[in-house]
Amino acid sequence: MNIDHLLRLEIEDAVAALFGQAAPVLQIQPTNQEFEGSHTLVCFPLTKLSKKGPEETGSVIGEKLVGNGKLVSKFNVVKGFLNLSISDEAWVKVLADMLATATYGQQAPNGKEIMVEYSSPNTNKPLHLGHLRNNFLGYSVAEIYRAVGYTVHKVQIINDRGIHICKSMAAWTLFGNGETPEGSGLKGDKLVGKYYVEFDKAYKAQVKELEGKGMTTEQAEKEAPIMKMAVDLLLKWEARDPETLKLWKMMNSWVYAGFDATYRRMGVDFEKLYYESDTYLLGKEEVMKGLAAGVFFRKDDGSVWVDLTGDGLDQKVLLRADGTSVYMTQDIGTAMLRFRDFPKIEGQVYTVGNEQEYHFKVLFLILGKLGYAWAKKCYHLSYGMVDLPSGKMKSREGTVVDADDLMEEMVSDAAAQTAELGKTEGMSKEEVDTLTEMIGLGALKYFLLKVDPKKRMLFDPSESISLQGHTGPFIQYTHARIRGMLRKANLTTGDRLPVTGDRWELHELERNVIVRLSQFPSKLEDAAREYSPAVIANYIYTLAQDYNQFYQAIPVLNEPDSDRRAFRLAFSGATADVIRSGMRVLGIGVPDRM
């Protein structure tokens, strides 16, 4: 039973009966918490039909709805806003329909396809805290779109070429002595990242030495032997030198193995990987086609540009004077290749930090100028930086927080907390490890996802792991509490109790939870439309709060009336189901015991 749909139909019928005309598009929204009711009709647009003021318009519509039947039980009007209370009988039917639907909230496939890009790392260093927010955001947006009926393609572009990659290659050649991940005990991405740091140390030392010999800083930076070696490696790579390619492939393979291990622990996956080393050539070809068609222009030095001044931006280089590509060139090629690979996609979602907002404005404009209508279907999921409180975890490099280190610390903190609270008594080591992994990573994911993606945020590890407050563990504990209660009642997760309750009035706290449960499908749609997992994260938290208020005030297992007891158990099971489903689209597991 879809309350929103039925209510809209009843209001349309009431308006037509009262005013003799079909209603315009109705504005119906959730009722402000200060007022009684669950749905609010904005009456101002209806005054032209009613020939009355907004408050009187609301009153006559409210009276009509209450007199019509069992859907609306009462109403109140506040300054042209008609607040409607749905009958308890209707809410009980809503709950019954939820319990009868195994995949409540999830829409049937709609035939539409969308692509979501996330992660997109460089192969010269391990993943860090910023990548965690990126991956969790992209993965969750993909799962939200899957829940609302889309076929979703999860992809990433791996930045596997360029001078930054050659820097690690140069340092390993000079200082590595044949070191491998197997021999060093380091994950492959961390080993390569180690040599990226070694390059920087050696480069700075060489620049300082050359400056001491009288060179300017600019000269020294160009003439530093290790930088010249990196540049030479890049030129050899572009010339397809066999030995250089062999070294490049070997070191990249180490990084990919390291990334894969990190992704597995993150709980994210990809359908297809794209590589900059493959797509940049396609981008160069497309730029040359655009040049021939007059879309782009060439400057006297031979470089190729696009003029976006007419769009309120500036001119942007697409090919350097020496013919080499820039990031924009590669992104043009990648976008084209993806639409060739997946011609049915409605659009591409790029999960990239907000420092790249200008870049994507330019990219989408360029694709449009090249004549690709699908450019309008591209969206930049921009997100803010993540900060840590001063003095918290430090990375091995001392500049960024390593993703593996942070995940391990979160799981370790979860293990310590559960042991201290005595939550693991009677559990096997495997069960404890599974639980603490779920709690630790759940705390991390939830804290990073509950904030609107566009906002810069402060991540506090100690706050995120708490069982109290706006945290993932609080929600997980609520789910485990409900499952524990159902076990005591000899019910399993899949059991569906018959819902009764039409012989009594619902308690206000029961009604609050059912109203909240009914919002789940629309919240998924809101989250998809806004590309924001924060919509679901905050919704599930509020649902858990509502349920805990009910649980503290109203007996369930100790309810003497068997019908009421059965109803409240069913009601609790529906809440646990929605919590599990909502957390699942965030990429977070919920335990049955905690």
In a domain, 395, yes or no: no
pLDDT at 503: 59
Tokens linked to 282: 């396609």
**CATH code for the domain in which residue 516 is found:** 1.10.730.10
pLDDT at 365: 96
In a domain, 330, yes or no: no
Angstrom CA distances, 454 to 137, 354, 375, 476, stand at: 11, 7, 22, 26
Residue 336 region, left (φ>0) first, then alpha (ψ -120 to 50), else beta? alpha
pLDDT at 70: 78
pLDDT at 579: 98
Angstrom CA distances, 342 to 142, 337, 373, stand at: 16, 9, 15
Answer yes or no: do 480 and 564 share one domain.
Answer: yes
pLDDT at 394: 42
Residues 454, 142 contacting (CB under 8 angstroms): no
pLDDT at 494: 52
In a domain, 542, yes or no: yes
pLDDT at 393: 41
Domain boundary among 86, 121, 136: 86
> Tokens 């955001």 belong to which residue?
137
Answer yes or no: do 445 and 539 share one domain.
Answer: yes
Answer yes or no: do 178 and 79 share one domain.
Answer: no
In a domain, 264, yes or no: no
What is the total count of domains within the chain? 3
Residues 587, 264 contacting (CB under 8 angstroms): no
Answer yes or no: do 572 and 433 share one domain.
Answer: yes
Q: Which domain holds residue 173?
A: 161-254
Angstrom CA distances, 265 to 2, 386, 434, 487, 569, stand at: 38, 20, 12, 30, 35
pLDDT at 396: 36
In a domain, 332, yes or no: no
Answer yes or no: do 52 and 165 share one domain.
Answer: no
Domain boundary among 202, 233, 254: 254
CA pair distance 449, 266, nearest whole angstrom: 14
Residues 427, 405 contacting (CB under 8 angstroms): no
Give the residue ranges of the chain where pLDDT is below 70. 1, 390-399, 492-504
Which letter, b or e, does each residue of 310-319 get, where b requires 16 or more Cβ atoms within 10 Å of its Cβ?
A: eeeeeebebb
Answer yes or no: do 62 and 165 share one domain.
Answer: no
Answer yes or no: do 43 and 173 share one domain.
Answer: no
**How would you write 228-240 as a 3-class SS string?**
HHHHHHHHHHHCC
pLDDT at 496: 53
In a domain, 357, yes or no: no
Angstrom CA distances, 301 to 286, 316, 392, stand at: 20, 15, 50
Query: pLDDT tens digits for 67-108?
Result: 987 799 999 999 999 999 999 989 998 998 898 888 999 999
CA pair distance 13, 395, nearest whole angstrom: 63
In a domain, 286, yes or no: no
